[in-house]
Structure 1
Amino acid sequence: MSNGTERIAFVDIYSGPGGVGYALNAIIDEYDLPVDHIGIDITDYSDTYPGDFVQCDASSVGQVINATWYYLTEYDIVILWMSPPCLAYSTVSWSNCNQIGFDDPRDYYPTFADLNVRTVLEAIDPDEYIIENVANCEDIREPTRINGFGVGLPFDLERHFETSYPCPDRLDDGEAEAGHFTRTGDWQSKKPLARTKSVPEHWDRQEIRSAMPRELVQYLLHYCPSFPEIPLPDDVDRQQFLTESFVAVANGGNNCSSQATTDGSGGDGA
């Protein structure tokens, strides 16, 4: 747990142009956190990522360690966020199998094993970590399930998160506001969702769709032991969680849920 003076490094792997970085920046600024963050991606996003950035192969242990060595050795606490590509698990990939000519997307697109997700995690050995992916990803262990409605946003966007600390589910039902898309094929305009997520409107649709809203990132970090100063998002009922009990499983993950609805259905998000 941070004592408020320790320097915290936040390593954002598979960062894209800043889908987590923009949310993290807003949280750091509002709560004056002693956090520096670095984005890592095989594509060069150095002109757009809102923090330090290193272009490298995120599936290569050697390249990732070289890219993050300063943060791993000079900071008191290291937090790792990983957002591996979701195409191996996406419902879109499954629905397009016949068109593209394969039976199982996991044989066509890289899985966690192909991307060395667990090996990279073990090599970095962070104090805390979060791994994020779509709701259909079976490689997320003991997932925390969160959607946009659950944190007060006008769309579904269910995502699953593996965390090194206990964090309850947050799912709710709702009806997406006009202009927001929540399922494949529902595209109306990318701009309303970009505004809601506070990311640039010129990003492409997939970049906007994959971006993590600030409310969702704040919800996850509220439960992280390293960030005692981060409150729940404004639209999340704190009293509900004061009366809930949830415990960590043996490996430190989440095995109990607290949710506004028992309906856990969801697609690949907004």
Structure 2
Amino acid sequence: MDAQKIKTTIFNVILLVIAFITVVPFLWMLVSSFAPNSEIVKIGGSFFPTPSTFDNYRNIQENFGFMRMFLNSLFVSLTVTALTIYSSALIGFVFAKFRFRGRGLLFGMVLSSLMLPWAVTIIPRYEMMVTFGWLDSYQALIVPSMVSGFGIFMFRQSISQISDEMLEAARVDGASDFFIFHRIILPMSRNTISSLAIFQFLWSWEDFLWPFLMINDESKQLISVGLRLFNGQYGTDYGGLFAATSVSIIPVIIVYLIFQKQFISGIASGSGK
């Protein structure tokens, strides 16, 4: 066996070990979601509890209104993701293809927003929501997140690679900037759209602190906050928690599967450049 094959084998073994370490906790959680609490916390039992019941999945809906929180999170996350992609693409297009006074300063302000710790903005954002009267509303969760400095930067870099001659040819043919953005820029930015969709949906879906501060009405609460309900004063409902968590990761997996092809293509083309 030559040196290259040995290196490849070692590399594959390392990847398998990392994959095993990553997957086993999720597999344990999934199996445990079908087991009673007594089996999960049993000392001296098998590593994987013996699955024997669907009660955990029934209880999370009957006792905690899980589906309502799930749909609330799905609505907010999808809305935020769609608005963030559109606003980031539009602003990125302006920064990439239009020349105007102060463009560099404005883009520098966008980049500086990426350097601020998110915790620094919590108090000003909270005071703004109180002033607007948006507490206990979806506006408080959606509007502050609909513009992303990270997304603007991604689209600005991506759109800068599109040929100016192509856009000028479209303008000569009578195309407006609105038409160019929707019919040329967006279709040619599929990889960037896919990447930002994955990141933004994940960030919105797992956000805990901001929904915790904004929403007190249980009928509007999100699943990221609702999972804490399984931790009671006198104990934790591990079976219910594992069942709820197992269901809650499904949308994230689906979003990644939908956009993974373009996401991987974008990484490959970026590394090639």
TM-score when scaled to structure 2?
A: 0.28
Higher relative contact order (CA 8 A, sep 6+): 2
Q: Which has the larger radius of gyration?
A: 2
Query: In proportion to residue count, which structure has more strand?
Result: 1
TM-score normalized with structure 1 length: 0.28
Identify the structure with the greater helix proportion. Answer: 2
